[in-house]
Structure 1
Amino acid sequence: MVPHLQHLTHGGNVNATDNNQQTALHWAAVKGSIAVADVLLQNGARVEAADLNGYRAVHIAAQYGQTAFLNHIVAKYHAEYDAPDNCGRSPLHWAAFKGFSDTIRLLLFRDAFQGKQDIEGCTPLHWAALRGNVEACMVLVHAGTKQELLVKDKAGNTPLKLASDKGHRQIALLLSKAERANSKRLFDKIHGGKMGEVGYAPILFCVIIVLIILFINSVLATPTLPKVTAIVGLWGWIGVSLGIGSLIMFYRCCSKDPGYIKKSRRLDGYEDTEDPLLNIELNNASVWTGNWDQLCPTCKIIRPVRSKHCPICKHCIEQFDHHCPWISNCVGKRNKWDFFVFICMGTLTSFIGAFVAVQRIWTAIPALSAGKTWIHLVIDHHPGIVAFLLLDALVLTSATTLTIIQATQIARNITTNEVSNAIRYRYLHGPEGRFRNPYNHGCRKNCTDFFIRGYTDDEIAWPPLQSVAS
């Protein structure tokens, strides 16, 4: 740094160019040197200086994936982040071409125009699909609209056709699914995931209703079985009550806000001198850990560490656990308690129902005629109970498995999303790179916080999150 300062103090030209018309700022962008850029720009360097190809510092930074550098010169020196080069390509084009997903997130977060076409008619999504950059395509698709999916280049190719022609099957599947989801045809909506907004909640609702009706008509009130005893009747109606309670909790899970993160007032209506990525408390561990994937280009927010954007709900969810199609909603910080109570009630209801049904059949065995196997006799004489037991066994198995998984995760203060993506999330890595959950305060405190307050805390137990991020 000292030689640079001495050169400038002796009258060095900060805008001097080489044979390619590149300035020192271009080379600082290659290395991502923010300190050098500050020295140059504070001494008169032109932030919009372009080389022979029309590349500015923002283009070079995007080409080399220097996200922090790009953000710095845009936020502090107001560099034009959507400027075209001589071929009409913006920094977003180059980030998509090179596959730098963090740079893409930053540019989309700053409202870079995703539908811009270069001289070949290609959008950033065209280039990402052509190069086979899966994560880049995912970010662009989730943050974009159906228009970007259908844009054709000058050769008549859509991003989907380019991906298919190049043999990028995963990208082709992603794009075709996105196209079908945005289609107006019902068949395409169902097979493309658009119906995922409705999910399987209506099916589960009908299953619960059918189970309750079958249990009352075919197990408790059927005339083909002996009269219900007081104890069995008590347990039976407890099961019915729990079933009705499950419907209430089911409605709460479906309709309750799972923890949608609303845009902070500090990020709304900022002026040129109040850049959102400069004003954010970057040292606040609950907000920022230095990961650019915390930027949500769709919601235009900086997500807290444990949150995630759900492409189905189209919101960022605090303490995102998973999107459950059976409740047609996400499970997050504000409705995880309701979800856990719901699956616990479902497990208990199914168990009581199965127990009462088996007891009723067992007491009816002496009254059955001989000559057939026990299974055939039950199927012939009590088909309603058989149907109930088959459906109930399916629900019991699923609910029990889900209850055990959720209970284990609650005891560890970890989410399904974190378990599935532990390798990707740096805050779940200890100093030696091994898995370590910094939010685990011990089983007792984790469970107490969850069942008393309704959610677990984001307070870090070990180690300091800043040291993990670094």
Structure 2
Amino acid sequence: MALTTSEIEVVSDSPATESSTTVKADANEPVITDVFSASAYGNLEKLRKFVQIDGCSLSKPDVNGYYALQWASLNNFAGAAQYIIDHGADVNAVDNSRQTALHWAAVRGWVLVADVLLQNGARLEAADANGYRATHVAAQYGQTTFLNHLITKYVADFDSPDNYGRSQLHWASYKGFADTIRLLLFRDANPRRQDIEGCTPLHWAAISGNMDACTILVHAGTKEELLLKDNAGFTPAQLASDKGHRHVAFFLLNAQRTQGRCFKGKFFTEKLGQMGYAPILFFILIALMVLFVNSILLEPTFPRLTAAVGLWGWMAVSLAFGTLLMFYRCSSKDPGYVKKRSEAFANRAVEDGPLLDIDLSNSLTWTGNWSQLCPSCKIIRPVRSKHCPSCKLCVEQFDHHCPWISNCVGKRNRWDFFVFLCMATITGSVSGAVAIQRMWTDPAVFPTSITWFHRMLIIHPGAIIFLFMDFILWIAATTLAISQGSQIARNITTNELANRGRYWSGVSGFNNTIFSYEKLLKNFQKLSADLQYSDFHVSVEKITSFLQRCYQPRVTPHNTLAKNETTLTYT
């Protein structure tokens, strides 16, 4: 496949040739000389003058073939658009590229002017010379809100091919608009659709090297999309490698290996594979407990147990049993799975409509964040939830997926996981101390350290093995317990901490951090009041104000186009 000839044509809004609407961007006041410039700037007063006094027509194009209604639609002047339509303009007039005013409104995602056009008879499914509909243009520019508005309110077709067989999902994947991809997959767009060159949306995401797009498509899809080949015989991973996107190629190849395990398809081995490392860890804990009892407490070559050492030793055994119970609880408990829609609703027939029952504006969990849409589970996730690729379900307050318990750590089992880690730390500390005491007080060893170690290794190999394994597990449990305790105190999860650069960007980011510290300080204040410590006082307001001054977020202005960039062309 010749990649140079298979690139998708990219929609741009750079000006083509200078027309009567072209105005210098640095001018203090716009130069309005005709109905086209008046429409572009939304100057209704001058527009009325040109039409009602000068007798200018609103149904004729300018020198480049563009209509006044298109200029008003491009810049979201709904009042001007309504005036133009009321005075004889054709709402479905097309320019030289067969683009309508609705196409121009889709470039910048203007919902208000789109409503004006559609309520006055604009053809929703009108296609231009390339077969692009308004939904295609919205996908090309990542106008997710606009696209969802057309789908929800006007039942727009969101999975239609253009002249090259490329759907809206192809375009969003190629351009790397993650939110648009989520919406389309959430609405059941077909991720396996192949264009005239045999490329799926995943092929185009791989060609452009968009890791976010590839990640969403892979997690929401199956092994079939990973192995589909284009007309030239290339898989998405091969195209990514050929384009030099090594990180994308590595991710796709790893996804192929993960979904193509040899045990898949065999019931017993598949179930065993889904259990993860939990059986291994359970066996290790049982083996260590047996080793501790036989090689430390009941070992006949050690001195007779004293009452104090025996008490601590059997206390460690009791703690070990409690740790095993907490381990089972963490592994088997529901971490906070968000239920999927019913199969009957999810697999609704095509003629019933494109999931019209999903009204994001009326959803109790919808906050306007498109990342809440789960294209895999087809649900609106609660805030702080995340889809787990291992469990294939969304988890509330997702912390992380722990392979050692073969379960996610989330809202419902996070405290259980923390208690399990604390008990494992205490058990390891007590049993390790008892083991060291028993070995150190053994009168059969020689005084030098080298001789002592060799003698212990020969006479008490079980004790040495136990101490070594106990130390490794104690280090791991202690580190995780400290980490989890710190995150719980700050009201943050491991997932949020790992993605803090993405989750906390912009104005609201540091406010979330301040809220965490504010909540923690208020907890301390309440505790001090309960304990009647009159000398303990923390001013939350002062500290919060100080943090806000120290961590002023850097606000990046929204991307805007210069006023002279008012020509819409497809290049």
Aligned to 1:336: 414
Partner deviation per Cα, 1:190-236 (whole Å, 9 max, x = no partner): xxx99873322122111101110110010000011000111111111
Cα RMSD of the aligned pairs, angstroms, is: 3.0
Summarize the Cα distance change of 1:245–1:52 in structure 2 as closer, same or farther, 3 Å threshold: same
Aligned to 2:336: 259
Aligned to 1:454: none
The amino acid across from 2:373 in the alignment is: L
Task: Select the residue among 477, 482, 496 that pairs with 1:404.
Answer: 482
Determine if the alignment matches structure 1 residue 318 to structure 2 residue 371: no
Task: Select the residue among 286, 290, 294 that pairs with 1:209.
Answer: 286
Query: Sequence identity, in percent?
Result: 58
Summarize the Cα distance change of 1:223–1:257 in structure 2 as closer, same or farther, 3 Å threshold: same
Within a 5 Å distance, the mapping from 1:14-33 to structure 2 comes to 14-33=91-110
Query: How far apart are residue 367 of structure 1 and its match?
Result: 3.0
Summarize the Cα distance change of 1:421–1:298 in structure 2 as closer, same or farther, 3 Å threshold: same
In structure 2, what is the Cα distance between the partners aligned to 1:36 and 1:231? Answer: 82
Checking the alignment, whether the CA contact within 8 Å between 1:263 and 1:300 is kept in structure 2 is yes
Query: How far apart are residue 272 of structure 1 and its match?
Result: 5.2
Determine if the alignment matches structure 1 residue 111 to structure 2 residue 199: no
In structure 2, what is the Cα distance between the partners aligned to 1:98 and 1:279? Answer: 24
Determine if the alignment matches structure 1 residue 37 to structure 2 residue 96: no
Summarize the Cα distance change of 1:447–1:253 in structure 2 as closer, same or farther, 3 Å threshold: farther
The amino acid across from 1:208 in the alignment is: L
Aligned to 1:126: 203
Within a 5 Å distance, the mapping from 1:45-444 to structure 2 comes to 45-186=122-263, 197-263=274-340, 268=345, 275-281=356-362, 287-364=365-442, 366-369=443-446, 373-426=451-504, 430=507, 436=513, 438=515, 441-442=519-520
Query: How far apart are residue 280 of structure 1 and its match?
Result: 4.2
Checking the alignment, whether the CA contact within 8 Å between 1:196 and 1:312 is kept in structure 2 is no
In structure 2, what is the Cα distance between the partners aligned to 1:327 and 1:347? Answer: 16
Checking the alignment, whether the CA contact within 8 Å between 2:155 and 2:354 is kept in structure 1 is no
In structure 2, what is the Cα distance between the partners aligned to 1:300 and 1:446? Answer: 41
Summarize the Cα distance change of 1:349–1:272 in structure 2 as closer, same or farther, 3 Å threshold: same
Checking the alignment, whether the CA contact within 8 Å between 1:182 and 1:194 is kept in structure 2 is no
Length-normalised TM-score, structure 1: 0.88
In structure 2, what is the Cα distance between the partners aligned to 1:170 and 1:448? Answer: 49
Aligned to 2:32: none
Summarize the Cα distance change of 1:429–1:210 in structure 2 as closer, same or farther, 3 Å threshold: farther
In structure 1, what is the Cα distance between the partners aligned to 2:284 and 2:355? Answer: 53
The amino acid across from 1:278 in the alignment is: D
- How many residues align structurally? 445
Aligned to 1:452: none
List structure 1 runs of 4+ shifted beyond 6 angstroms. 193-196, 446-449
The amino acid across from 2:200 in the alignment is: T
Larger Rg over CA atoms:
2
Aligned to 2:569: none
Highest RCO, 1 vs 2 (Cα 8 Å, sep ≥ 6): 2
Query: How far apart are residue 185 of structure 1 and its match?
Result: 1.9
Checking the alignment, whether the CA contact within 8 Å between 1:410 and 1:447 is kept in structure 2 is no
Checking the alignment, whether the CA contact within 8 Å between 1:164 and 1:172 is kept in structure 2 is yes
* SS in structure 2 of the partner of residue 176 of structure 1: helix
Query: How far apart are residue 328 of structure 1 and its match?
Result: 0.7
The amino acid across from 2:118 in the alignment is: L
Summarize the Cα distance change of 1:448–1:55 in structure 2 as closer, same or farther, 3 Å threshold: farther
Length-normalised TM-score, structure 2: 0.73
The amino acid across from 2:135 in the alignment is: V
In structure 2, what is the Cα distance between the partners aligned to 1:446 and 1:106? Answer: 43
